[in-house]
A and B are shown apart, each in its own frame.
Chain A
Amino acid sequence: MAINWFKYSAPTTFYGLAGKMIPWFAFSAIILFGVGLYIGFAVAPVDAQQGEFYRIIFIHVPSSILSMFLYLIMAGYAALGLIFNTRLSAMMATAIAPTGALFAFISLWTGALWGKPMWGAWWVWDARLTSELILLFLYLGFIALHASIDDPRRADRASALLAIVGSVNVPIIYFSVKWWNTLHQGSTIKFTGTSMHIAMQQAMFIMLAACWLYAISVVLARVRSIILERERNTVWVTQLPEMNELPKVQQ
Protein backbone atom coordinates (compact mmCIF):
# COMPACT_ATOMS: atom_id res chain seq x y z
CA MET A 1 0.00 0.00 0.00
CA ALA A 2 1.54 3.30 -1.10
CA ILE A 3 1.51 6.15 1.42
CA ASN A 4 0.97 9.65 0.10
CA TRP A 5 3.61 11.48 2.17
CA PHE A 6 2.73 14.83 0.62
CA LYS A 7 -0.63 14.57 2.38
CA TYR A 8 1.19 15.15 5.69
CA SER A 9 2.88 18.32 4.44
CA ALA A 10 -0.48 20.07 4.78
CA PRO A 11 -1.07 21.64 8.22
CA THR A 12 -4.61 20.16 8.26
CA THR A 13 -3.41 16.55 8.22
CA PHE A 14 -0.10 17.11 10.01
CA TYR A 15 -1.88 18.63 13.03
CA GLY A 16 -3.70 15.36 13.76
CA LEU A 17 -0.69 13.17 12.99
CA ALA A 18 1.55 15.22 15.31
CA GLY A 19 -1.03 14.92 18.10
CA LYS A 20 -0.98 11.13 17.79
CA MET A 21 2.83 10.92 17.70
CA ILE A 22 3.65 13.17 20.69
CA PRO A 23 2.76 10.68 23.50
CA TRP A 24 4.83 7.91 21.85
CA PHE A 25 7.91 10.10 21.49
CA ALA A 26 7.53 11.58 24.98
CA PHE A 27 7.03 8.20 26.68
CA SER A 28 10.01 6.70 24.80
CA ALA A 29 12.15 9.69 25.80
CA ILE A 30 11.35 9.20 29.51
CA ILE A 31 12.22 5.48 29.31
CA LEU A 32 15.50 6.15 27.47
CA PHE A 33 16.50 8.96 29.85
CA GLY A 34 16.04 6.51 32.74
CA VAL A 35 18.02 3.72 31.06
CA GLY A 36 20.77 6.08 29.86
CA LEU A 37 21.25 7.63 33.30
CA TYR A 38 21.29 4.21 34.95
CA ILE A 39 24.02 2.92 32.60
CA GLY A 40 25.90 6.21 32.76
CA PHE A 41 26.04 6.39 36.54
CA ALA A 42 25.71 2.79 37.75
CA VAL A 43 27.31 0.66 35.01
CA ALA A 44 29.90 2.83 33.21
CA PRO A 45 33.30 2.73 34.94
CA VAL A 46 35.23 5.69 36.32
CA ASP A 47 37.54 7.37 33.80
CA ALA A 48 41.27 6.84 34.41
CA GLN A 49 42.18 10.52 33.88
CA GLN A 50 39.05 12.53 34.66
CA GLY A 51 37.56 10.41 37.44
CA GLU A 52 33.80 10.94 37.94
CA PHE A 53 33.81 14.34 36.22
CA TYR A 54 33.65 12.74 32.76
CA ARG A 55 30.03 11.67 33.46
CA ILE A 56 28.90 15.13 32.31
CA ILE A 57 29.54 13.72 28.81
CA PHE A 58 26.17 11.91 28.87
CA ILE A 59 24.28 15.22 28.75
CA HIS A 60 26.98 17.48 27.22
CA VAL A 61 27.63 15.54 24.00
CA PRO A 62 23.95 14.76 23.18
CA SER A 63 22.93 18.40 23.74
CA SER A 64 25.86 19.63 21.59
CA ILE A 65 24.98 17.23 18.77
CA LEU A 66 21.32 18.21 18.94
CA SER A 67 22.06 21.93 18.96
CA MET A 68 23.95 21.51 15.65
CA PHE A 69 21.57 19.05 13.97
CA LEU A 70 18.47 21.00 15.00
CA TYR A 71 20.00 24.11 13.42
CA LEU A 72 20.57 22.27 10.13
CA ILE A 73 17.03 20.86 10.22
CA MET A 74 15.65 24.33 11.04
CA ALA A 75 17.64 25.85 8.15
CA GLY A 76 16.45 23.04 5.86
CA TYR A 77 12.80 23.67 6.72
CA ALA A 78 13.34 27.43 6.37
CA ALA A 79 14.89 26.90 2.91
CA LEU A 80 11.98 24.66 1.87
CA GLY A 81 9.54 27.33 2.99
CA LEU A 82 11.47 30.02 1.15
CA ILE A 83 11.84 28.08 -2.11
CA PHE A 84 8.51 26.25 -2.34
CA ASN A 85 6.44 28.63 -0.19
CA THR A 86 5.13 25.68 1.85
CA ARG A 87 3.32 26.80 4.98
CA LEU A 88 4.23 23.89 7.23
CA SER A 89 7.99 24.19 6.55
CA ALA A 90 8.15 27.71 7.92
CA MET A 91 6.04 26.69 10.92
CA MET A 92 8.41 23.78 11.64
CA ALA A 93 11.45 26.08 11.44
CA THR A 94 9.80 28.46 13.91
CA ALA A 95 8.96 25.57 16.25
CA ILE A 96 12.48 24.10 16.19
CA ALA A 97 14.33 27.34 17.06
CA PRO A 98 13.55 27.56 20.83
CA THR A 99 14.40 23.89 21.42
CA GLY A 100 17.66 24.26 19.48
CA ALA A 101 18.53 27.36 21.49
CA LEU A 102 17.93 25.50 24.76
CA PHE A 103 20.15 22.62 23.67
CA ALA A 104 22.89 25.10 22.68
CA PHE A 105 22.57 26.70 26.12
CA ILE A 106 22.70 23.31 27.90
CA SER A 107 25.77 22.42 25.83
CA LEU A 108 27.57 25.63 26.86
CA TRP A 109 26.45 25.36 30.48
CA THR A 110 27.48 21.73 30.97
CA GLY A 111 30.70 22.45 29.07
CA ALA A 112 31.51 25.20 31.55
CA LEU A 113 30.84 22.83 34.43
CA TRP A 114 33.14 20.27 32.88
CA GLY A 115 35.78 22.87 31.99
CA LYS A 116 36.18 24.18 35.53
CA PRO A 117 37.56 20.98 37.13
CA MET A 118 39.46 19.87 33.98
CA TRP A 119 40.90 23.14 32.63
CA GLY A 120 40.61 25.30 35.75
CA ALA A 121 38.34 27.78 33.93
CA TRP A 122 34.58 28.05 33.35
CA TRP A 123 35.14 29.65 29.97
CA VAL A 124 37.98 30.13 27.47
CA TRP A 125 37.75 31.85 24.08
CA ASP A 126 38.47 28.55 22.39
CA ALA A 127 37.33 28.00 18.76
CA ARG A 128 34.86 25.23 19.67
CA LEU A 129 33.33 27.13 22.59
CA THR A 130 33.14 30.43 20.73
CA SER A 131 31.54 28.92 17.60
CA GLU A 132 28.96 27.15 19.81
CA LEU A 133 28.21 30.48 21.50
CA ILE A 134 27.70 32.03 18.05
CA LEU A 135 25.25 29.20 17.31
CA LEU A 136 23.25 30.17 20.40
CA PHE A 137 23.22 33.81 19.21
CA LEU A 138 22.06 32.68 15.75
CA TYR A 139 19.15 30.81 17.33
CA LEU A 140 18.27 33.85 19.44
CA GLY A 141 18.61 36.11 16.38
CA PHE A 142 16.26 33.85 14.40
CA ILE A 143 13.66 33.91 17.22
CA ALA A 144 13.98 37.69 17.72
CA LEU A 145 13.82 38.50 14.00
CA HIS A 146 10.75 36.31 13.52
CA ALA A 147 9.02 37.90 16.51
CA SER A 148 9.83 41.45 15.42
CA ILE A 149 7.90 41.27 12.12
CA ASP A 150 4.11 41.34 12.41
CA ASP A 151 3.28 39.71 9.07
CA PRO A 152 4.02 35.97 9.59
CA ARG A 153 4.86 35.29 5.91
CA ARG A 154 7.35 38.18 5.78
CA ALA A 155 8.77 37.06 9.13
CA ASP A 156 9.20 33.54 7.72
CA ARG A 157 11.14 34.82 4.70
CA ALA A 158 13.42 37.18 6.65
CA SER A 159 14.26 34.64 9.35
CA ALA A 160 14.74 31.90 6.72
CA LEU A 161 17.55 33.92 5.16
CA LEU A 162 19.23 34.29 8.55
CA ALA A 163 18.89 30.54 9.21
CA ILE A 164 20.35 29.60 5.81
CA VAL A 165 23.31 31.99 6.08
CA GLY A 166 23.93 30.97 9.70
CA SER A 167 24.13 27.28 8.80
CA VAL A 168 27.72 27.91 7.67
CA ASN A 169 28.57 28.00 11.39
CA VAL A 170 27.68 24.32 11.94
CA PRO A 171 30.63 22.82 10.00
CA ILE A 172 32.84 25.46 11.63
CA ILE A 173 31.80 24.12 15.06
CA TYR A 174 32.39 20.52 14.00
CA PHE A 175 35.78 21.06 12.37
CA SER A 176 37.01 23.74 14.80
CA VAL A 177 38.94 21.16 16.83
CA LYS A 178 40.75 20.04 13.65
CA TRP A 179 41.34 23.43 12.01
CA TRP A 180 42.68 25.21 15.08
CA ASN A 181 44.70 24.30 18.15
CA THR A 182 41.98 24.17 20.76
CA LEU A 183 41.79 23.41 24.46
CA HIS A 184 38.61 21.45 23.70
CA GLN A 185 39.37 17.81 22.96
CA GLY A 186 38.86 16.31 19.50
CA SER A 187 36.08 13.88 18.54
CA THR A 188 36.06 10.74 20.69
CA ILE A 189 33.65 8.89 18.38
CA LYS A 190 35.06 8.61 14.85
CA PHE A 191 34.10 6.66 11.75
CA THR A 192 37.26 4.61 12.27
CA GLY A 193 36.27 3.56 15.81
CA THR A 194 36.54 4.76 19.38
CA SER A 195 38.59 4.14 22.49
CA MET A 196 35.60 4.60 24.79
CA HIS A 197 34.45 1.81 27.09
CA ILE A 198 31.36 0.02 25.72
CA ALA A 199 29.18 1.04 28.70
CA MET A 200 30.16 4.69 28.22
CA GLN A 201 29.22 4.44 24.54
CA GLN A 202 25.90 2.78 25.35
CA ALA A 203 24.99 5.45 27.91
CA MET A 204 25.96 8.27 25.54
CA PHE A 205 24.02 6.91 22.55
CA ILE A 206 20.95 6.10 24.66
CA MET A 207 20.99 9.62 26.12
CA LEU A 208 21.40 10.97 22.57
CA ALA A 209 18.34 8.99 21.44
CA ALA A 210 16.41 10.24 24.49
CA CYS A 211 17.30 13.86 23.68
CA TRP A 212 16.19 13.35 20.05
CA LEU A 213 12.85 11.90 21.15
CA TYR A 214 12.36 14.70 23.68
CA ALA A 215 13.16 17.34 21.05
CA ILE A 216 10.80 15.79 18.49
CA SER A 217 7.91 15.60 20.97
CA VAL A 218 8.38 19.20 22.15
CA VAL A 219 8.74 20.54 18.59
CA LEU A 220 5.62 18.69 17.48
CA ALA A 221 3.67 20.06 20.45
CA ARG A 222 4.87 23.59 19.67
CA VAL A 223 4.13 23.37 15.95
CA ARG A 224 0.53 22.34 16.75
CA SER A 225 0.02 25.66 18.56
CA ILE A 226 1.66 27.54 15.68
CA ILE A 227 -0.63 25.76 13.18
CA LEU A 228 -3.67 26.76 15.26
CA GLU A 229 -2.50 30.39 15.37
CA ARG A 230 -1.77 30.61 11.66
CA GLU A 231 -4.85 28.69 10.51
CA ARG A 232 -7.27 30.34 12.93
CA ASN A 233 -9.48 31.68 10.15
CA THR A 234 -10.02 28.29 8.52
CA VAL A 235 -13.10 26.11 8.97
CA TRP A 236 -11.21 22.97 10.04
CA VAL A 237 -9.74 24.71 13.10
CA THR A 238 -13.17 25.84 14.33
CA GLN A 239 -14.43 22.27 13.97
CA LEU A 240 -11.65 20.69 16.06
CA PRO A 241 -12.92 18.72 19.09
CA GLU A 242 -10.56 20.58 21.46
CA MET A 243 -12.26 23.86 20.51
CA ASN A 244 -15.37 22.64 22.33
CA GLU A 245 -13.56 21.17 25.33
CA LEU A 246 -12.61 24.49 26.90
CA PRO A 247 -15.08 26.24 29.24
CA LYS A 248 -16.90 29.22 27.75
CA VAL A 249 -15.09 32.49 28.44
CA GLN A 250 -16.84 34.61 31.10
CA GLN A 251 -18.05 37.98 29.82
Chain B
Amino acid sequence: MSALDIWMRENTLAYIWLGSYAVAFIIFLIEIAMVKHKRKITLQQLRMMRDAENEAGEEN
Protein backbone atom coordinates (compact mmCIF):
# COMPACT_ATOMS: atom_id res chain seq x y z
CA MET B 1 0.00 0.00 0.00
CA SER B 2 1.48 3.33 -1.06
CA ALA B 3 1.81 6.42 1.12
CA LEU B 4 -1.00 8.08 -0.83
CA ASP B 5 -3.33 5.15 -0.13
CA ILE B 6 -2.60 5.39 3.59
CA TRP B 7 -3.00 9.19 3.58
CA MET B 8 -6.34 9.11 1.70
CA ARG B 9 -7.79 6.58 4.14
CA GLU B 10 -6.64 8.56 7.17
CA ASN B 11 -7.70 11.95 5.76
CA THR B 12 -10.74 11.04 3.67
CA LEU B 13 -12.48 14.41 3.76
CA ALA B 14 -9.26 16.29 2.92
CA TYR B 15 -8.71 13.88 0.01
CA ILE B 16 -12.26 14.49 -1.27
CA TRP B 17 -12.12 18.27 -0.81
CA LEU B 18 -8.64 18.88 -2.18
CA GLY B 19 -8.84 16.26 -4.92
CA SER B 20 -12.29 16.80 -6.36
CA TYR B 21 -14.16 19.85 -5.02
CA ALA B 22 -11.17 22.22 -4.91
CA VAL B 23 -10.11 21.12 -8.40
CA ALA B 24 -13.67 21.54 -9.76
CA PHE B 25 -14.07 25.02 -8.25
CA ILE B 26 -10.62 26.09 -9.47
CA ILE B 27 -11.65 24.96 -12.97
CA PHE B 28 -14.86 27.00 -12.63
CA LEU B 29 -12.87 30.07 -11.53
CA ILE B 30 -10.44 29.69 -14.45
CA GLU B 31 -13.35 29.41 -16.87
CA ILE B 32 -15.00 32.54 -15.42
CA ALA B 33 -11.69 34.43 -15.69
CA MET B 34 -11.28 33.29 -19.32
CA VAL B 35 -14.82 34.36 -20.22
CA LYS B 36 -14.29 37.78 -18.60
CA HIS B 37 -10.93 38.17 -20.36
CA LYS B 38 -12.44 37.27 -23.72
CA ARG B 39 -15.14 39.90 -23.29
CA LYS B 40 -12.58 42.53 -22.32
CA ILE B 41 -10.37 41.70 -25.32
CA THR B 42 -13.34 41.61 -27.71
CA LEU B 43 -14.56 45.02 -26.57
CA GLN B 44 -11.03 46.44 -26.86
CA GLN B 45 -10.70 45.12 -30.41
CA LEU B 46 -14.07 46.56 -31.40
CA ARG B 47 -13.15 49.91 -29.89
CA MET B 48 -9.84 49.94 -31.79
CA MET B 49 -11.62 49.09 -35.05
CA ARG B 50 -14.13 51.87 -34.49
CA ASP B 51 -11.37 54.40 -33.68
CA ALA B 52 -9.42 53.37 -36.78
CA GLU B 53 -12.51 53.78 -38.95
CA ASN B 54 -13.24 57.20 -37.43
CA GLU B 55 -9.66 58.36 -38.05
CA ALA B 56 -9.73 57.08 -41.63
CA GLY B 57 -13.01 58.96 -42.17
CA GLU B 58 -11.55 62.21 -40.75
CA GLU B 59 -8.48 61.94 -43.01
CA ASN B 60 -10.68 61.53 -46.07
Contact = CB atoms under 8 A, between A and B. Distances in A.
Given A102-B27, A102-B31, A113 B42 contact: no
Contact of B21 (A59, A214, A222, A242): A59
A105 B26 CA distance: 13
A98 B31 CA distance: 9
B14 to A, nearest CB: 10
B20 A246 contact: no
A225 B13 CA distance: 39
Residue of B8, B44, B47 ringed by the most chain A CB atoms within 10 A:
B47
Contacts of A222: 35, 38
Contacts of A98: 31
B35 A52 contact: no
Interface in B30-55: 31-32, 35-36, 38-39, 42-51
B19 interface: yes
The SS class assigned to the B binding surface is helix
Dominant SS at the A interface? helix
Given A221-B35, A229-B42, A243-B50, A214 B28 contact: yes
A7 interface: no
A74 to B, nearest CB: 16
A52 B43 contact: no
Contact of B12 (A51, A59, A109): A51
Contact of B8 (A99, A116, A248): A116
A104 B13 CA distance: 23
